[in-house]
């Protein structure tokens, strides 16, 4: 299962995915939402951006659900 499918299975939805260039170099942006919460990540690859998203979601879920 890929990261996007894994996050969707946890109830998170892709709100925005955008590929763009800065100085001719490819970058990507991902934004996921769940209820009133959101998590974003951006970087040169999907893997970099989705790693940021996953980390933020883990932080948010720890706050929401407690230790």
pLDDT digits (tens, 9 = 90+) for 31-56: 999 999 999 999 999 999 999 999 99
- Compute the radius of gyration of the chain from its Cα atoms: 12
- pTM for the model stands at 0.91
Q: Is 23 left (phi over 0), alpha (psi -120 to 50) or beta?
A: left
C-alpha–C-alpha distance, residues 63 and 47, integer Å: 24
Q: In the structure encoding, which two tokens stand for residue 60, read together? A: 């948010």
pLDDT tier for residue 59 given thresholds of 50, 70 and 90: very high
Q: Degrees (nearest 5) of the Cα angle 46, 47, 48?
A: 90
Q: Is 24 left (phi over 0), alpha (psi -120 to 50) or beta?
A: left
pLDDT digits (tens, 9 = 90+) for 8-31: 999 999 999 999 999 999 999 999
Name the CATH architecture for the domain at 3-65: 2-Layer Sandwich (3.30)
């Amino acid at each position: 299962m890929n990261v996007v499918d894994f996050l969707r299975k946890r109830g998170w939805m892709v709100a925005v995915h955008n590929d763009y260039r800065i100085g001719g170099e490819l970058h990507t942006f991902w934004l996921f939402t769940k209820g009133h919460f959101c998590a974003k990540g951006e970087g040169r690859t999907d893997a970099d951006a989705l790693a940021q998203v996953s980390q933020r979601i883990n932080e948010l879920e720890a706050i929401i659900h407690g230790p």
